[in-house]
Structure 1
């Protein structure tokens, strides 16, 4: 695990606390339910960032006897936790929005509250860009999930500020609660997306089609001497991508020659896709043809 990823995750907790402080102050100044909903989501951000940091520290552990494929899937647990926390936050916001709708109150000092909330939104926007950029560079589901959550927070904050402007201008106090309810719906939707993506990783979902195509091209470019490659199977676990495939070689080729081709392919993957784990099953040509005939005959061996 790149040390930069751990440092960014730790910094994310600190940034989240600063943003939480600004949004909480904005809520205390105004008493707005909408700004309360925005501050509540920031509490979830801090908790989720802390969970991501713990998961990244666990996933950085090297492979051992009990975990021969490493600990990278630990990152998905933080994303699942984050999704659950988002859903809890959305339900809490909906409750406060309903109570505020039943007993509407005009916010006090709304312009100062908007200024504080706006400063927090700018900080979140900058940090969201950092998280997504570094998370994608290092293929870290925890950082990407944290970045996407912050992106949702930025979008909702912009929506809150845009709608909140109308509250003092129109004098419609219930608009504050309506904005909070809309925030809750958006937060709920983003939480579902985070959980769906994380469960896909835990269930050994295949790598994206563009990445699989990139792998095929690498095998074709560096598999000189082999006849074909087939039965590509992929899965991803955190930042790691696992690839298995069958490499067909001439029947008379020696083990040493076939091994040299595999070494060349593996070296190409290490150079181009450092965090890919490749397993190659070598097949002589006649065995591959026999299997193809069996498949064509519906599993019945053709002699």
Structure 2
């Protein structure tokens, strides 16, 4: 099992435990905000399972049917995860609005504070690990999973604060029952924003979006610095598929340059690009100076 798969499996295990804990306390207290957090974690679990599958498949080598590899599996998983989160947020809002119109007393809010605090701590640790691996491996699926958990940290802390206020209100004889569904609506809106951002990012890869501006600028600087006198490049194109960058451009060389010398120059440029972008696939079209698109 590779590094990405181990990280995804860790997320699966942690989310499974948190779902059980949140659901148990949510049913015990009757707090819709805690139950909404259990649903949020359930969506995180589905996302983690999808991420586990996608990172396992995305590294598969190219084959006859997929000559450019399987990297876009991670983008597809990102779209599915975003749609699941979107559905979950709408369901939470529906339930919370019903509770807001028909408030019910909350019991055992102290348990809610405890489980939400523990959930936030676990997800802080797991999300940091996922972000580190996602950055090292350039994995959109793991980055999406880490984003879910980061959102879960913030919403868990928000629910914990709400439970703490309700707990204190009960002790003082205050009726704060409507605070619970209001917090749940806040959680749902936060999750909705998260889903839209993830969906847009995942779709960029499926639509063959070019590399990031900063990477393109570095690439152009590299080419300008390493194209020998008498040579030049043009028609530079790029697209990103998972962690892989596909780059192609035309390289003009002096008409008298031999095929062997042109090939050696292309090899050197590809080596330099690979050193800067380890997962780049580079295609260079060589043409004699003065001829474009030949």
What's the TM-score once normalised by structure 1's chain length? 0.90
* Unpaired segments ≥5 residues, structure 1: 292-303
Partner of 1:45: 44
The equivalent of 1:267 in structure 2 is: 271
Q: 1:256 aligns with which of 248, 252, 260?
A: 260
Alignment correspondent of 1:18: 17
Q: Tell me which residue corresponds to 1:185.
A: 189
CA distance in 2, matches of 1:32, 1:72: 41
Number of residue pairs matched by the alignment:
288
* Whole-Å separation in 1 of the counterparts to 2:149 and 2:227: 43
The answer as to whether partners of 1:227 and 1:249 remain within 8 angstroms in 2 is: yes
Deviates more, 1:161-170 or 1:241-250: 161-170
Q: Give the structure-2-normalised TM-score.
A: 0.93
Match of 1:83 in 2: 82
Listed one character per residue, the Cα deviations across residues 128-153 of structure 1 (whole Å, up to 9, x for unaligned) are 11111111211111001111111111
Matched residue SS, 1:230: strand
How far 1:28 sits from its partner (Å)? 2.8
Residue 287 of structure 1 aligns to a residue in which SS? Answer: coil
Check whether the contact 2:116–2:157 (CA below 8 A) recurs between aligned residues: no
* 1:90 Cα offset (Å): 0.7
CA distance in 2, matches of 1:183, 1:67: 40
Gaps of 5+ in 2: none
Q: Equivalent residue for 1:139? A: 138
Q: 2:281 aligns with which of 277, 282, 286?
A: 277
Would you say the 8 A contact 2:110–2:163 is kept in 1? no
Q: What is the distance in 1 between the residues matched to 2:164 and 2:239?
A: 48
Query: Alpha-carbon deviations, 1:219-247, whole Å to 9, x = none?
Result: 23433355222221110111101111111
Q: Does 1:120 align with 2:119?
A: yes
Contact between 2:246 and 2:282, CA under 8 Å: does it hold in 1? yes
Cα distance in 1 for partners of 2:83, 2:265 equals 47
Verify the 8 A CA contact 1:55 1:74 in the aligned structure 2. Answer: yes
Q: Residues 52-63 of structure 1: matches in 2 within 5 Å?
A: 52-63=51-62
Q: Secondary structure at the match of 2:126?
A: helix
Q: Which is further off, 158-167 or 117-126?
A: 158-167
1:105-128 deviation line (CA, Å, top 9, x unaligned): 121111122111110111011111
Q: Match of 1:174?
A: 178
Determine the C-alpha separation between the residues in 2 that align with 1:63 and 1:247: 27
RMSD: 1.6
Residue 286 in structure 1 maps to residue 290 in structure 2: yes
How do 1:82-121 residues align onto structure 2 when only pairs under 5 Å count?
Answer: 82-121=81-120
